[in-house]
Amino acid sequence: MKEKLQETVKIRLEGYRLLRKRLLKWRAILTYLIIGLCLTIIATTAIGPVYIPPAEIISIISYKLGFNIGGFNETHMKIILQLRLPRIFLGIFVGMALSVAGVIMQGLFRNPLAGPYVLGVSSGAALGAALSIALLPAIVGIYTTPLAAFMGGLMAIFLVYNIVKLCGRFTVGSLLLAGIAIAYLFSAILSILIWTLSRDSHIILLWIMGGLWGADWFKVGVIAPIILLSTFMAFIFSRDLNALLLGEETAHSIGVNVRFIEKILPILASLITSAAVSFSGAIGFVGLMIPHIMRMLVGPDHRILIPSSALAGGIFLVWADAAARCLMELPVGVVTALAGTPFFIYLLRRRNP
């Protein structure tokens, strides 16, 4: 009896030791990513047609926070506060949104090739934006297009859920098939619009390619609370996503409401994606590539995968946008596609050696 008790204590102590080691590792990973994000903000703020030294950037940011630590150029302050920082922070939140949505979708479908656009959200948002550009150019103002894109994304997920409901039993597979059908439908309508509206077709195509042009603090203020709250909600469901990795039957046996999770999480991912796409256009590969890379680095546990993917997604998209700015102001979606295509091929080769 005494030996059995000692063995139990030993096992529990070993479990606590492993848990403590894992928590320390997670803390280190998040610390490095936060430091990397801060350095990214400073470095990419310096990049542009007018180079601004990092020391001056720190002085300007400190001044706005109420700490005067050195001199700076007034023109540089306007460039940083009115042009570069809003664009950088918009890129951070869009990258966070796409990455978190990608983590959710990959966890639900248990497939690393799933992404935030699999349910037709990007096609719906693109159609909404195109209709806004073509028909409502000046009714609501410069925020007409983001609002219409957001509503288009919500319309896509609404149609997907209703199609699944009409077809009978709700499953993740039927959700995926309905999403593909709606994506093709909206893409066809969008193609007709681009073909018939030659006057606005180049603007629509530019929006579809994705970019962070026109970023301002109002847009950042709108998207930031949506993305942060949605990321927190996704983190709340991290244990349920972990359970789903073991299979639906196993997850159900340990007390997870699988049907509820499979209904609510796609809606959450679609809301996050719609919010991001409405301000940036359809930027591809971020939600596919970043979650998979972070899964290889930190493991499949969604308690660390969700926050680490959010931070890494923000870092990646800001650097991609910086590269796009340096390369004759390309759409950032072009840069992410150039980076993501080789990675996608790598995934296919890895799955089919």
Residue 13 clears pLDDT 60, i.e. is over it: no
Could you tell me the domains of the chain?
A: 91-108+118-351 (1.10.3470.10)
Distance CA 305, CA 291 (A): 7
Run of H or E including 131: helix 121-135
- What DSSP character marks residue 70? S
Confidence class for position 3, pLDDT limits 50, 70, 90? low
Q: Can you give the pLDDT at residue 247?
A: 81
Sign of the Cα pseudo-torsion (244, 245, 249, 253, in order): negative
What integer is the mean pLDDT of 296-300?
Answer: 87
Residue 221 clears pLDDT 70, i.e. is over it: yes
> Which of 306, 287, 292, 311 minimizes the C-alpha distance to 241?
306
Number of neighbours of residue 262 by Cβ within 10 angstroms: 17
Tens digit of pLDDT for each residue in 140-149?
Answer: 556 788 888 8
Residue 12 clears pLDDT 60, i.e. is over it: no
* Residues contacting residue 80 through CB under 8 Å, at least 6 positions apart: 45, 52, 57, 60, 61
The amino acid present at 296, given as its one-letter code, is M
Q: What is the mean pLDDT of the chain?
A: 84
**Which value, to the nearest 10 degrees, does the dihedral of the CA atoms of residues 151, 157, 162, 164 take?**
170
Q: Give the pair of three-digit tokens for residue 323.
A: 């590269």
Residue 350 clears pLDDT 80, i.e. is over it: no
Q: Can you give the pLDDT at residue 42?
A: 94
Q: Give the pair of three-digit tokens for residue 91.
A: 């890129």
Phi first, then psi, for residue 202 (nearest 5°) are -70, -35
Exposure string for 27-37, b = 16+ CB within 10 A, e = fewer: eebeeebeeeb
Residue 318 clears pLDDT 90, i.e. is over it: yes
- What DSSP character marks residue 97? H
Distance CA 48, CA 140 (A): 32
Q: Can you give the pLDDT at residue 326?
A: 84
Q: Quick one: how many helices (H) and strands (E) in the chain?
A: 15, 0
> Which of 44, 35, 40, 50 minimizes the C-alpha distance to 324?
44
Distance CA 86, CA 190 (A): 30
Distance CA 197, CA 185 (A): 18
Residue 11 clears pLDDT 70, i.e. is over it: no
